[in-house]
Amino acid sequence: LNEEYQSRFVARQEFTMPLKFGNIQFTPFASIQMNWRLDDETSGPNQNTDYWYRTIGFRATTQFNRIYNTIDNDLLDLHRLRHVIEPYVTVWNGESDIDTATIQQYDARVDNLSTGTAVWFGVKNKLQTWRGGPGRWYQIDWLTIDTALLLASNDATQRFDNPQFFNWRPEYSSLQDAAIVSGKWQYSDGIAFIGNGTWELDGGTLARGSIGAELDHGRDFRTYLEYREIGNTNDQFLSL
């Protein structure tokens, strides 16, 4: 166990420019992060030097919808239906002057970085309806299904066995070609069924999947029942 202190200074700047072209939201973005060692760079067992890390890319999304006023089903608690289709795409590239896999892990927010090029695109479908009754109608997302593809360059960082993409900070992602599907069915105000799955495109195998139910008791109290399977280790979990 190394008890030597290491001091550093980290600065990160991000630039985004939200633009709108008709119904299309287009947002280019870029960031730069600098890391400086403030102590002796040759001290300690894990030597490290000053380095920089930058990202550049854009996000684009749009929305289409159609309303079905004739739908009314008391069994499913459906009163009118609105179908919302949201296509989206993110193109991203990250680069550094060192191998990011060798960065010492002190703070995941600044050290857990990925490099390479990735394209994330998909479509989110939402079915919205009204519930509550006369004088207290409110709108909910009755059914949500999000399907996406993640395509990564050969030199992209695969930090974990399970491919993941975080659209809000792509540099935190584990980049590998994959198909990712998630869904939620809000059966009633208190009961929802949730599921998701990730498939590796190279071998077509299931990397990770889960299915479960959520029971909302009100007053910020909820219980969950979930079955989860991890393909790489062939593990299965049942949690409550």
Mean pLDDT of 131-149: 92
Among the residue ranges 17-26, 86-95, 218-227, 229-238, the one predicted with the least confidence is 229-238
Q: What is the pLDDT of residue 45?
A: 42
**Mean pLDDT of the chain, nearest integer:** 89
Q: What is the pLDDT of residue 203?
A: 80
Between 212 and 7, the higher pLDDT residue? 212
Between 42 and 16, the higher pLDDT residue? 16
Backbone angles phi, psi at 169, to 5 degrees: -145, 85
Query: What percent of the chain is modeled with pLDDT above 70?
Result: 95
**Helices vs. strands in the chain: H and E counts, helices first:** 1, 13
Mean pLDDT of 196-200: 93
Q: What is the pLDDT of residue 195?
A: 95
Q: How far does Cα 24 stand from its chain's mean position?
A: 21
Among the residue ranges 26-30, 38-42, 67-71, the one predicted with the least confidence is 38-42
Span 141-179, pLDDT tens digits? 999 999 999 999 999 988 888 899 999 999 999 999 999
Span 50-95, pLDDT tens digits? 889 999 999 999 999 999 999 998 888 889 999 999 999 999 999 9
- Radius of gyration, CA atoms only, the chain: 22
Q: What is the pLDDT of residue 134?
A: 86
Mean pLDDT of 116-132: 95
Burial of 21 (0-12, 13-18, 19+ CB in 10 A): exposed
Own/partner contacts of 210-216, CB < 8 Å, gap of 24 or more, are: 215/190, 215/191, 216/189, 216/190, 216/191, 216/192
